[in-house]
Structures are given as structure tokens and as C-alpha cells.
Structure 1
Amino acid sequence: MNATIALMKKAVPKRIVLFLLAGFICLSTTAAVLFANADLSGEWKLNEQKSELGQFGGRMAARKLKVSSQADAISIERTSVTQNGEERTTSEKLTFDGKETETTVFGNNKKKSTAKWSDDGQTLNINSVMVFDRNGEQMEIKVAEAWKLTENGQVLSVESTSTSSRGTNTLKLVYEKAK
């Protein structure tokens, strides 16, 4: 009988430790699911009627997006329509480690970007600086974008604010998931 009581006293602390460990694992897994980054992957088409295209009529806004999200990076293809009516696609891959990524846009002009998730993982913030060279004159445009899913993942909202020597322009772009 004394041996049984002694064995139970030793077993009880082990049970408590196992119980606490199981609880910690369960909470950690739940927290990871709750705070996972939004999955922006898919093909998206601009809904001009629902968008606010700003003072320049959204000339720089992509009409289509193709997005591929990974755990540590995002790949984005932006398809715009030129003034001549031709489609132009630019591609970029942005990492979430804070490193700047350089992309060539509109001829030989450069765009440097960084991407970072909000603390809750629901908004992707992309900050870019583009330098355009026209006839020996350079113009710098800074762009801050906030990407967020709405309507059960069927709508991608992109709020974009650009600043240059021409002033500030804000766009609120609404993209619907292509079917």
C-alpha cells in the first residue's frame, strides 16, 4: 500500500507537467492559426466602379494582378494598359525579411521596394521608390500600399498613396477575384 502511494506521488507531478505541456502546444498551435498572414494568392481584376481612382484617373493602376504568396515572400504580376491601349506586365518578388528588392519598370526605370506584414498578419504593407529619367531629368515617386482581403477573401483592397514633385495622390483600388 505504501509503495502504491509513493508511486502515485511521483506520477502526479509528471501528469501535471504532461497536462501543462499539452495545453501549451494546443495554445501555440491555435495562436499560429489565428495570426497567420492572409493568403493574397490568386488572379484579381480591377473593379473601376467600386474603386476611387484619384486625381489622375488611376492611369498607373494595374487592371489585373496575379499574386502568389509564400511564407517568406510574395510574387506579383501587375498588368496595366498603356496610353496606346497595349497591355504591359511587370513582375516583382518581394521578401518579408526587410531586404529591398529592385525591379525594372517602364523601360529602364528602377523601382526599389520592401514588404512587411502588419502585426495581425492581415495587411501587407509595400513601400516603393521609383526613379524616372526623362530627357535627363529625374523624378522620384514614393508609393505606400496597404493590401488587405475583404468579403471572405473574394475582394482585394489596395490603398495606394504616391508622393512626388507633382503632389500626393491616393487611390483606393478594389480587385475582385477572377473566376
Structure 2
Amino acid sequence: MRSTLLQFNDRLYMACIWVAGLAVLTMTLIIPWGIFARYVLGTGSSWPEPTAILLMVVFTFIGAAASYRAGAHMAVAMVTDRMPPPLKASAAILVQLLMAVICLFMTIKGYSLCKATWGQYMSAMPTLRVGLTYAPIPLGGLLTLVFVLEKLFLGDQSNRRVVRFDLVEENEGAA
């Protein structure tokens, strides 16, 4: 069971990395196009800036979930580093529980925000619902919650090597 959960979370983690990475890549292609269209072609496009902003939101919330699992998030450990080991372990559990509360808040309130603004459309992109633009908030909260629960119940996975699934499984079947 533990192995199955870790494999699922490994795939979820890699999906978060890919989504965040593709969001940054797409932003780096869209922004120069907006500059080129405005200054070279002389006709400014209305979609590059809001699209880049939306991609930054995706990158921020989905990338934060991946960063949390990788242990690459910001942490101020000045106080906890000076605690005795039993107290340090209790503080670590308290931090995870508080993170779970924050993730639940993001998921529930983010969903409410999406639902409340679903009937509105963006002025710069009239076919895009405002509620959809807020979707990375509850999604990022839910993904981070999965990784928080993993850390609480299965331990810290930031130093464990993520298993590659593509060629490893095919080669094992051939042997």
C-alpha cells in the first residue's frame, strides 16, 4: 500500500513539475510575441499579457505544491533548530498540521471563489470565465494537501529518489 501511494504521489509530483515548467515555457514564448507585435508590427495584441499573468498563477500554485514535496520551499528554522529533539519532533508535526489547515482553507475558499465568479468573463479574453482563472488556487491547495498528508503519514520524501516509470517498467517486462 505504501509503495502504491508513493508511486501515485511520484507521478503527481512529476505532473506538477511538468505543468509548472510548461507554464513558464509558454510565458517565455508569449511575452516576446506581445513585444514584437506592439513595437515591430505596430499592432498590440490584447491577449499576451493576461495570458502570461494566468500562466504565472498556474506556475505559482502548482509549482508551490511540487516545491513543498521536494523540500525546496522557504522555511525559517532558526527557533526549531535550537529545540531539543523531542520538542523539535512535536514542532514538525504542528507545522504539518498547520500546513494542512492552510491547504484546506485554500481548497475550500478557492473553490467558493471559482464558483462565485463562474458566471463572469474576463474583459481582455471574453471567452474565458473568471472562475476558471481562479482554479489554480483550490487545485494547488489540494495538491499541497496531498503532499502534506504524505509527509505526515509516510515521512519526508524530499531526499528519496523519484522512480521513473516510463522505460523501467518496459525493461523489467522484457527481462
Give TM-score, length-normalised by structure 2.
Answer: 0.23
Give TM-score, length-normalised by structure 1.
Answer: 0.23
More relative contact order in 1 or in 2 (CA 8 Å, sep 6+)? Answer: 2
Question: In proportion to residue count, which structure has more strand?
Answer: 1
